[in-house]
Copies of this chain bind each other. A is one copy, B any other.
Amino acid sequence: MKTIRLSIIGFGAVGQGVARSILSKQGYINKQGINLCVVGIADSGGCEIDDKGIDLMGAITRKKQTGTVATCAESAFDLISNVEHEIIVEATPTNIKDGEPGLNNMLTALNSGKNVVTSNKGPLALRFSDLKEMAEDNGLFFRYESTVGGAVPIFNLVHEAMAGNTVIGIEGILNGTCNYILTRMAEERLPYELVLKEAQELGIAETDPTYDVEGIDSACKLVIIANSIFQDAVTYRDVDITGITKITPEALELASKNNYVVKLICEAGNGTLTVAPRLVPKRHPLAVGGTLNVASILTDLAGRITISGKGAGSIETASSILSDVLHIARNS
């Protein structure tokens, strides 16, 4: 049995989802000859560190009861730098201004010989090529399946499952909140403000929804796609962005009468990066409803491959993180 030690940096919904997934899939993982051992967890309150392996259920319970996982005052930096392990799972919240604290966590990990798996879009939308280069220079894995599309494995699909294909273009719906709002507005003929409020009550939209509805989240994801799949050294600032806040129920109704739906579509591939509302024929593979995410990938050999699934949720995001962790465990 190969033991792979990891730390979880950031212990909110995603970090806890990773802990729960490792617990629930222990038998499955062991069957593959792999023993995943979490030796450290960090949140903003401090750390828990145990080189024999942390009691994950205990950590989740303590977090719930006390608001922090911390049992010692060491920082995430200390954990990443000084505790021996192979992989950090960086799951702190996305910050699109300067990428912190995720960016520093990732740089520290790559500098101290640790592989990085992350769900944090901020550092990748700002410094993708630096991070990739540093990982390559140090012979380390840098994997980020869960940053785009939630449970939908877009990068694994393109880089591994469809190896041999050159991607010509990608279009997708990469923000479940916008998709939910546009779907409900069209189906119920309700104005934007009302549906946004409903989405906030259901926990589908944040109290400050700017990041989603102005297309910023979609743009970050598109930047990661452009860097990862098209090797374009672009950042968030290179995306032409239009959000969904100005769409009216009347526009959606007119579209519907002509057999179209309106979707916030991300497009990459022709040298430009665009996030904007687009008319999509109702029977088009991109016309998925609710909170679903979808990516339609045009390739030279396989033609067009379309994949859809849940774009958010702690267990769904953890699913993509776990696939990255297992990829590293199998190949290192």
Q: Which residues of A contact B (CB under 8 A)?
A: 21, 24-25, 28-29, 151-153, 156-157, 160-166, 282-283, 285, 288-289, 299-310, 313, 315-316, 318-320, 322-323, 325-327, 330
Pairwise interchain contact A322-B309, C-beta atoms closer than 8 A: no
Question: CA separation between A54 and B45, bound complex, in Å?
Answer: 64
A236 to B49, CA, bound (A): 53
Residue of B nearest to A157 (CB): B161
A288 touching B289, Cβ below 8 Å: no
Tell me if A304 and B299 are in contact (CB < 8 A): no
CA distance A160 to B165 in the complex (A): 17
The residue of chain B having its C-beta at the shortest distance from the C-beta of A155 within the complex is: B161
Contact B285 A163 (CB under 8 A): no
Q: Give complex CA distance A165, B152 in Å.
A: 12
Q: Is the CB of A319 within 8 A of B302?
A: yes
**Residue pair A316, B288 in contact (C-beta under 8 Å):** no
- A283 contact set on B, CB distance < 8 A: 282, 289
Does A160 contact B156, Cβ atoms closer than 8 Å? yes
Residues of B within 8 A of A304 (CB): 309-310
**Known A316-B303, A320-B302: A326·B28 in contact at CB below 8 Å:** no
Question: Are A21 and B164 neighbours in the complex by a CB distance under 8 Å?
Answer: yes
Rounded to whole Å, the gap between the CB of A178 and the closest CB of chain B is 19
Interface pairs A-B: 6 shortest CB-CB: A156-B161, A301-B319, A164-B322, A151-B302, A153-B161, A305-B309
Measured between alpha carbons, how far is A20 from B310 in the docked complex, in Å? 37
CB atoms of B307 and A319 under 8 A apart? no
Q: Give the CA-CA distance A320 to B309 in the complex, in Å.
A: 22
Interface centre among A164, A289, A315 (most CB of B within 10 A): A164
Asked if residues B166 and A28 are in contact (CB atoms below 8 Å), the reply is yes
Q: Find out whether the CB atom of B319 lies under 8 angstroms from the CB atom of A299.
A: yes
- A146 CA to B314 CA in the complex, in Å? 33
Instruction: Assess whether B25 is in contact with A164, with CB atoms less than 8 Å apart.
Output: yes
Determine how close the nearest CB of chain B comes to the CB of A263; give it in whole angstroms.
Answer: 14
Contact A319 B21 (CB under 8 A): no
Minimum C-beta distance from A8 to chain B (A): 15
**Chain B residues, CB < 8 A from A153:** 157, 161-162, 302, 305
Assembled-state Cα–Cα distance A161/B327 (Å): 9
